[in-house]
């Protein structure tokens, strides 16, 4: 009975690890694809949903970054309870995950997402009742600040 319980526990841990690994891999693949898509589309955004999507990805970043060491630790636990062949497979999966995460970070993920949001905000201009064009943001730029309340006359 004890052996059966240990085997069942090992299977549960392996299934949990596989689920966590798959979830993080899918997120990395989705973010990579979306960044490529947004970078290739240099024109104005047609839908505000794209901006919302980029903001959502940016908000998810800290959580996903925290998940990586947890998935690695879980993988190490699974490797200890696996056969040498199984441990080698898990090790390879972990190495691939870390490599894909590092590739995403080398692409300066956070900076890219923030840049997409800023570019979108700069594309959006509003016309006030006096027909003056003003930017809808107030991002500091090299010594000046665009103030939507008091636009440049």
Asked if residue 80 belongs to a domain, the reply is yes
Rounded to whole angstroms, the Cα distance separating 144 from 113 reads 23
Mean pLDDT lowest among 16-25, 78-87, 104-113: 104-113
CATH code of residue 32: 1.20.58.60
Domain that holds residue 96: 2-125
What's the Cα-to-Cα distance from 33 to each of 30, 38, 61, 135, rounded to whole Å?
Answer: 5, 9, 15, 30
Asked if residue 146 belongs to a domain, the reply is no
Asked if residue 141 belongs to a domain, the reply is no
Asked if residue 139 belongs to a domain, the reply is no
Answer whether 98's CB lies under 8 Å from 25's CB.
Answer: no
Say what the pTM is. Answer: 0.65
118 pLDDT higher than 60: yes
* Number of domains within the chain: 1
If DSSP states are collapsed to H, E and C, what string results for the chain? CHHHHHHHHHHHHHHHHHHHHHHHHHHHHHHHHHHHHHHHCCCCCCCHHHHHHHHHHHHHHHHHHHHHHHHHHHHHHHHHCCCHHHHHHHHHHHHHHHHHHHHHHHCCHHHHHHHHHHHHHHHCEEECCCCCEEECCCCCECCECCCCCCCCC
Asked if residue 44 belongs to a domain, the reply is yes
Asked if residue 149 belongs to a domain, the reply is no
Average of pLDDT values for 56-81?
91
Asked if residue 134 belongs to a domain, the reply is no
Asked if residue 142 belongs to a domain, the reply is no
Pairwise pLDDT comparison (8 vs 49), residue with the higher score: 8
| Mean pLDDT rounded to a whole number for the chain | 77
Q: The tokens of 140 are what?
A: 């500091």
Pairwise pLDDT comparison (103 vs 116), residue with the higher score: 103
Return the pLDDT at 14: 93
Return the pLDDT at 48: 63
């Amino acid at each position: 009975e004890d052996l059966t319980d240990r085997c069942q526990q090992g299977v549960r841990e392996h299934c949990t690890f596989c689920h966590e690994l798959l979830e993080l891999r899918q997120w990395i693949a989705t973010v990579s694809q979306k960044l490529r898509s947004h970078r290739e589309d240099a024109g104005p955004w047609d839908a505000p949903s794209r901006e919302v999507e980029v903001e959502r990805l940016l908000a998810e970043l800290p959580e996903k970054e925290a998940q990586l060491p947890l998935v690695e630790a879980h993988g190490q636990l699974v490797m200890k309870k696996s056969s040498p062949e199984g441990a080698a497979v898990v090790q390879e999966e972990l190495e691939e995950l870390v490599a894909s995460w590092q590739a995403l970070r080398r692409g300066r993920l956070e900076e890219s997402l923030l840049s997409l949001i800023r570019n979108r905000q700069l594309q959006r201009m509003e016309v006030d009742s006096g027909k003056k064009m003003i930017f809808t943001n107030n991002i500091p730029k090299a010594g000046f600040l665009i103030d939507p309340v008091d636009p440049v006359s």
